[in-house]
């Protein structure tokens, strides 16, 4: 992906569809539309998946809680949502197997009745999923459960094992965007829609401000599709101030603990919490993510961050399920996201469906893809582009169900051994490269042949190569420190202190590629470290060494 080239296309070309927002649904819609032969532009005010789509629980699922509510309330709408999610689960994994895979999940229970209840529910969950090659759920004795996850509480009666999917959400959205780019879409990050030009009330073009240069350009398209998730009302009201608000934002946060918290590749489902949600403790690389919460969130002008009270809540929630309870000193980082729930008369956000809707404002012509969740991004995108086909009067069937994403086709995990033989990298580096870039890991490795100094690790305790930063700038449109450290790598999610430590090195590598001056580079490092420190203070966390110590 080349940002300068694509930005020039935005100025010079006229498009069938301009998609605003490059999270999961927007990137998915761009790929879907481009594969159907439409001329597509995709812009985002920040980075690809810079908001909600990079801050999920990293699960691909139908929703155990939705199934329980569907049965208790005889709610066919929720049952349909579970079925759609489970059907899409296999597609998400098929199309990018380097970024998504099945995940074993244990649910500790504390009585025979509880075990029977969970076994019946999760057996039904598996039945609804059909024949998708996921292992079936089963009830385990206490001893067998402890064999799989030795840090579980000894007070449990037994545990129920089932399987869902896990994905690297930010890189999956990036793969969607990258695939859309290769299918012909003009994709540009850090490009904010600030207004619309209209003729007789209908949108004809969008004013897009480059967030790096401050320059505003005009993007012309026949149809504009709003895929900005929890920020959808902002674009809707920009297009037509007379519209009612449709989104009710809900904040969810996670804390990040060391992998030793579980000492297992199995996740934990906590089915009972004080606020009625389920909470997961999920292994992800060398960490464990614990979350999520669910609270109303109205201030969309500020990034949702982990707060001190939320740290306490999640630690308290996970404590009864572990033999050795983690404390505040174990929390390495955290992250918050905003769910784009569609407005309902029901007062509690926990009861709102995560279903989606394609809205067409006939006055301005704007289409908005509202609601939804990560797992069903492809269906959401398909519905939106189907609707746009009707508006354009030239409907074409979609093909995304069987379209491999960048890095996914012919992927085999054991290719890391070939990479090691050819380039001599350590085991951990080779495994990291194939699980991050798929079949394009060799392109990253090739950079080290041209510049041998880039074959070095960034720091010893991480499997990250310096060459990756160069690849991410050249091929993945990384233009800020956070683009690299929070999304192309997931280090910001894993460890705030370690992220601050490596920031100067990343800045130095990016400066050479992007032509940053010394002053600009130092300012970027300082600004990012201050952000990390603010996250730490908001969460009420203290480290032995300050996050900003390397300054």
User: Is 129 within 8 Å of 86 (Cβ atoms)?
Assistant: yes
Average pLDDT, integer, range 54-83:
81
Average pLDDT, integer, range 280-301:
93
How far is it, in rounded angstroms, from Cα 197 to Cα 97? 42
Average pLDDT, integer, range 360-380:
95
Average pLDDT, integer, range 154-159:
96
Residue 445 CB contacts under 8 Å (≥ 6 apart), including other chains = 419, 422, 423, 425, 433, 467
Q: Which range (85-89, 302-306, 498-502) has the least confidence?
A: 85-89
Total residue count of the chain as it appears in this document: 551
pLDDT tens digits for range 511-534: 999 999 999 999 999 999 999 999
Determine the distance from the C-alpha atom of residue 282 to the mean position of all C-alpha atoms in its chain, rounded to a whole number: 15
109: left (phi over 0), alpha (psi -120 to 50) or beta: beta
Predicted confidence at residue 392, as pLDDT, reads 95
How far is it, in rounded angstroms, from Cα 141 to Cα 149? 12
Burial of 437 (0-12, 13-18, 19+ CB in 10 A): buried
Q: Spell out the alpha helix ranges (H) of 324-406.
A: 377-392
Residue 404 CB contacts under 8 Å (≥ 6 apart), including other chains = 95, 96
pLDDT tens digits for range 184-193: 999 999 999 9
Residue 317 CB contacts under 8 Å (≥ 6 apart), including other chains = 270, 273, 274, 279, 290
Place of tokens 């983690």: 326
pLDDT tens digits for range 232-257: 999 999 999 999 999 999 999 999 99
Backbone φ, ψ for residue 337 (5° rounding): -135, 170
Tokens found for residue 318: 């996970």
How far is it, in rounded angstroms, from Cα 415 to Cα 437? 12
How far is it, in rounded angstroms, from Cα 109 to Cα 117? 10
How far is it, in rounded angstroms, from Cα 438 to Cα 405? 10
For helices 441-450 and 466-475, the axis angle rounded to 10 degrees is 110
Predicted confidence at residue 344, as pLDDT, reads 61
Average pLDDT, integer, range 161-170:
96
Predicted confidence at residue 209, as pLDDT, reads 98
How far is it, in rounded angstroms, from Cα 108 to Cα 322? 10
Is the model's pLDDT at 3 over the cut of 50?
A: yes
Is the model's pLDDT at 346 over the cut of 80?
A: no
pLDDT tens digits for range 443-495: 999 999 999 999 999 999 999 999 999 999 999 999 999 999 999 999 999 99
Is the C-alpha dihedral spanning 97, 254, 173, 393 positive or negative? Answer: positive
Which three-class secondary structure state does DSSP give residue 212?
Answer: coil
User: Is 282 within 8 Å of 318 (Cβ atoms)?
Assistant: no
Which three-class secondary structure state does DSSP give residue 410?
Answer: coil
| Exposure on the CB side of residue 167, measured as CA atoms within 13 A | 29
Is the model's pLDDT at 82 over the cut of 60?
A: yes
Q: How confident is the model at residue 352 (pLDDT cuts 50, 70, 90)?
A: very low
pLDDT tens digits for range 325-337: 999 999 999 999 9
How far the first Cα of the chain sits from its last, in Å, is: 33
Tokens found for residue 315: 């630690």
Is the model's pLDDT at 546 over the cut of 80?
A: no
Q: How confident is the model at residue 354 (pLDDT cuts 50, 70, 90)?
A: low
Place of tokens 């009830």: 139
Strand pairing class (356-360; 333-342): unpaired
Structure-model confidence comparison of residues 352 and 534, the more confident one: 534
The share of the chain scoring above pLDDT 90, in percent, equals: 85
Strand pairing class (216-226; 333-342): unpaired
How far is it, in rounded angstroms, from Cα 500 to Cα 529? 6
| Exposure on the CB side of residue 188, measured as CA atoms within 13 A | 26
Which residues on neighbouring strands pair with residue 465, listed in sequence order? 457
Q: Spell out the alpha helix ranges (H) of 226-329.
A: 232-239, 308-318
Average pLDDT of the chain, as a whole number: 93
pTM reported for the whole predicted model: 0.95
Best CA proximity match to 455, nearest among 470, 465, 443, 468: 465
Residue 408 CB contacts under 8 Å (≥ 6 apart), including other chains = 95, 96, 97, 98, 99, 175, 438, 439
Burial of 460 (0-12, 13-18, 19+ CB in 10 A): exposed
């Amino acid at each position: 992906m080349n940002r300068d080239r694509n930005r020039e296309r935005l100025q010079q070309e006229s498009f069938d569809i301009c998609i605003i927002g490059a999270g999961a649904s927007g990137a998915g819609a761009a790929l879907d539309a481009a594969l159907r032969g439409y001329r597509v532009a995709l812009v985002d005010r920040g980075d690809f998946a810079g908001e909600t789509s990079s801050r999920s629980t990293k699960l691909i699922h139908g929703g155990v809680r939705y199934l329980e509510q569907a049965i208790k309330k005889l709610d066919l709408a929720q049952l349909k949502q579970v079925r759609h999610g489970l059907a899409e689960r296999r597609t998400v994994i098929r199309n990018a197997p380097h970024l998504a895979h099945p995940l074993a999940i244990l649910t500790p229970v504390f009585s025979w009745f509880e075990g029977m209840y969970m076994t019946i529910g999760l057996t039904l969950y598996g039945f609804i999923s059909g024949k998708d090659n996921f292992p079936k759920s089963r009830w385990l004795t206490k001893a067998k459960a402890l064999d799989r996850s030795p840090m579980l509480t000894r007070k449990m009666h037994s545990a129920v094992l089932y399987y869902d999917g896990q994905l690297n959400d930010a890189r999956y959205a990036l793969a969607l965007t990258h695939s859309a780019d290769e299918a012909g879409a003009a994709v540009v990050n850090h490009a904010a829609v600030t207004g619309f030009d209209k003729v007789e009330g209908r949108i004809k073009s969008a004013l897009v401000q480059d967030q790096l240069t401050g320059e505003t350009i005009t993007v012309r398209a026949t149809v504009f599709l709003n895929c900005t998730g929890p920020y959808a009302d902002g674009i809707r009201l920009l297009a037509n101030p007379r519209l009612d608000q449709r989104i009710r934002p809900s904040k969810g946060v996670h804390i990040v603990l060391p992998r030793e918290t579980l000492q297992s590749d199995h996740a934990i489902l906590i089915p009972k919490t004080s606020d009625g949600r389920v909470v997961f403790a999920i292994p992800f690389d060398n960490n464990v993510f614990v979350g999520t919460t669910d609270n109303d969130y109205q201030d969309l002008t500020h990034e949702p961050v982990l707060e001190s009270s939320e740290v306490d809540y999640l630690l308290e929630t996970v404590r009864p399920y572990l033999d050795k309870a983690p404390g505040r000193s174990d929390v390495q980082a955290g992250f918050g996201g905003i769910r784009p729930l569609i407005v309902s008369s029901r007062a509690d956000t926990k009861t709102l469906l995560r279903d989606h809707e394609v809205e067409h404002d006939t006055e301005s012509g704007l289409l908005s893809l509202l609601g939804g969740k990560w797992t069903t991004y492809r269906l959401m995108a398909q519905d939106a582009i189907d609707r746009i086909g009707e508006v354009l009067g030239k409907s074409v069937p979609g093909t995304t169900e069987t379209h491999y994403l960048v890095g996914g086709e012919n992927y085999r995990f054991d290719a890391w051994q070939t990479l090691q033989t050819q380039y001599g990298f350590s085991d951990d580096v080779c495994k990291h490269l194939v699980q991050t870039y798929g079949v394009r890991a060799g392109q990253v490795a090739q950079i080290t042949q041209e510049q041998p100094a880039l074959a070095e690790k960034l720091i010893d305790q991480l499997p990250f190569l310096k060459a990756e930063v160069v690849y991410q700038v050249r091929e993945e449109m990384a233009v800020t420190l956070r683009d690299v450290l929070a999304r192309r790598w997931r280090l910001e999610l894993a460890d705030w202190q370690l992220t601050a430590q490596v920031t100067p090195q990343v800045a130095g590598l990016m400066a050479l590629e992007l032509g940053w001056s010394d002053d600009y580079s130092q300012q970027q490092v300082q600004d990012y470290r201050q952000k990390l420190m603010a996250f730490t203070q908001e969460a009420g966390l203290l480290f032995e060494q300050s996050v900003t110590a390397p300054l």
